[in-house]
Every structure is written in C-alpha cells, then in structure tokens.
Structure 1
Amino acid sequence: MPADETVALVHMTNSYGSGLADSFAAAYTASGNTLCTQIGYEETATDFQSAVTAVMENGCTSVVLVSYAADGAMIVDEMASQGFSGQIYGGDGVAEEGLAADATSTVNGIIATKPSSGTMGTVGYVFASLCGANEACAGGIYTAEAFDSVVVMALSAFAQMASPGASLSDVIMATGQGVEGASGDISFLANGDVPGAGYCVGVFTESADAVSFDCTRTWDPANGLVDVTA
C-alpha cells in the first residue's frame, strides 16, 4: 500500500463516481490513513488542468481515479503533460483497453479493478449472442446483471401471486436461489447480496503496437488477493 498521505482521490461527482469514491475514502481512512487530497469533477468536464495541478502541488505520489474511459484518458494525458510519474489506480470504469484508445499518452502500468466474470452457462451464452446483435445492448454496461434483475423480479412477482401472504422481499430471496443467469449463477446471501465471482485486479501493458489489460490477480472474500497463474 502507498505511504500515508500520498494518495490522491480524483473522481466524478455523479452517483457512480461519488458513491465509489466515498466508499473508498471511508475504508481508507477507517484504516488510519489520510488522503493526500480528494478532488471531484462534473461528469461533463473536459479540462482537468486545475485538478492535476492540485495533485502535483500537494505532493501526491499516487492517484485513485474514479472515472469512465473518456474522462479518465483526459486525466491521464493531463498528468503526463504535467510530469506526474506516480502510480495510477482505477475502478471498473477504466478497466478496459478503451482507456488506451482515448488516451494519447501511455497507459502502461496503470492498475485497475473490475468484477470478475462468473462462470458462463447456457443462459449467459444465449444472452451474449442476442445482446451482441443489438446495438443498444452491445454498447451498454452491466447488461447481463440488469437482465438477471428483471428476470428475478418478474419470477418473484408471479410467485407472490401464488403466495399472497408472503412479503415480496421473502419471495425475492426464495426465488433468487440457484438461478442460472446471464451474469452467472445467482444465489442471494442473507443480506440480499450475491457472492459474485470476486474482482479482477489487472494491469495495462503497452507495447509498440498493442495495449492489453490483463487480470494478474483476483480477490474474493473467501481467498483474499491471489496471483493469477498462467
């Protein structure tokens, strides 16, 4: 982990950016750490000179970036232009090769995290095929998860009709057990969450003619942080 008071948090102020940034800041400070600086910006912003200047003037040596690919690329470019040489970390909004397509400077060495893909079954393959053939779906994010949510809610609504005395939350909990979904197998935990497949911790590698984002480590509640073996 970077040294205390060296980590800058730069994030969008929309629901995604503020939500993830607030969660990170709370967890980071709860561990006894202090952020170097925290800077929020509007989702529509295109000028990041002042934000990066603040990072540099505060002496921050690493940056946690909560953004999408387009604005993330602009921030990476601005940091490069101002001579920032520290480590950059990102969330799922930048954890794809699309970050490199939007950036004019190098993305080599940037570390980012995103949810790991679950084991794909028949439903997942069919959904992927149908979604890929639809422009609106193919260009979306978390489409498989959204599809699964609608399916579970629809099945729960029908199930409650047969058991009108049961609460909707209880019916949803019962319905969402052992479901083969588009995003993987679904079984709700007692708190309503799904275990998921953990998280990919990946790194960007850039060569003369290609850029790749590769999951070099994974994290899940049961196993913690584990190196990915080839």
Structure 2
Amino acid sequence: MTEFESHIEFYRLYWHQHFSKVVPEDNWGDSKLAEEYLQKYWLPEQEYLSFWKRIQDKIFVHGKTLPDLIYHSGFEMIVANGGCLFVEEDFKQLQKAMLSIGEMYFAVVQNTQEYTNDEPMFRMKFPVNITWDELTSGNYISAVLLEMSLNEFFVFGENGNWGKYSANDYKRPLDIIGFKPELAHIFQEHFRQPKEDQEEIWEWLPQEYKELIK
C-alpha cells in the first residue's frame, strides 16, 4: 500500500469537482492520471522527515496559523490576496522568484485544520521548472491540491530562506510570502501589487503582521 493510496479513492468522488476550473466536471475521476501524478510528485514521509521538515521548521513556527505570526523572526513579508494554493499567474510569479534564487525543488505541505482530520493530507515535491500544464495534469488530484478554497499549505524550497503560507481558511484568504532580507529585492520584483490591493489587504492583516511589514 502506498502512502497516497487513500487520496486516489477519496478525492475521486469529492464534492469539489463541481467548482474546479482546472478539470471540467465531465473529465473528473480519471484515477490513472491521478495515480501517475502522485507517483511522480508525492513527497515520501521518510524524505520529508529526514530533510524537508528541518527546512520547514527553520521558516515556519510549528503549530501556528493566522492570526498568529507563522514566520520565525528575521523574515520580511509580502502579503497578497489568497483563496487557493495556486492560480496560474501567482504560480508563475513564484516560479520566477524560485529560479532567480537557484532552487531546484519546492515542497508543498498541507497544514492540519479542524475539518481536515478525516481527509487525506497532501505532501508534495515538485521541480521548480515544472510547467503549469504539468502541475495541473493530475486530474482530480491536482484540482483538489491547487483549487480547494479552504485548505492551507506551507510552500518552501531547499535553501530555507523563504516560504509561502496559503492562509485560505482565514476570514480574508491571504497568501503570505516570507523571505530573508537578502532576498527582498527578488520577491519585491516579482510580487508587485496595485496600491488599492495593498490598502484592502492591510485592513485584514492581523496586528502582528502590520508591525513587521513595511
């Protein structure tokens, strides 16, 4: 039995199929594509615990979610509108930043929430140069991973100097990208926001974040 076997059956009949933009409802349920996708990109528990978990814990404060501060001290932040793990535009923004840093792989680790206790949780590893078409090629698995509007995720690379938290279950869904000061110019270049978006997001930010974000 694989670590992801339960994902294949559970999400094949998932209610989220009615809302997916990645997979048309008529195409939902291709378990062959789902299994192939997980075989390629699933992050095994042993690899996660022996390597990636250490990096995750350098960036994020264990057990925290909004409104608490989820980044360790020393990280600067950019906050954008959230709602799901990735849409094509913001994935490509992050991809450009990761390539500029020299990352080869990035991890996506789902955070535990109260309502996810009975759902299979995602733990994935992708090459940074993956195309959007490939990222969305897993039929219902990639649809749930990328689009489910309430799931929350940690996203981070191998160098441990940046991370993204998708706070999709917060009262106003937010994407929070944290990075060490030496990477500020890279993330600020790739994540520019209109002033009106910044002002709207600022209204929803928890106070601890307002005190740290310039």
Higher RCO (CA 8 Å, separation ≥ 6 residues) = 2
More helix by share: 2
Given the two structures, how large is their TM-score scaled by the length of structure 1? 0.25
Given the two structures, how large is their TM-score scaled by the length of structure 2? 0.26
Larger Rg: 1
More strand by share: 1
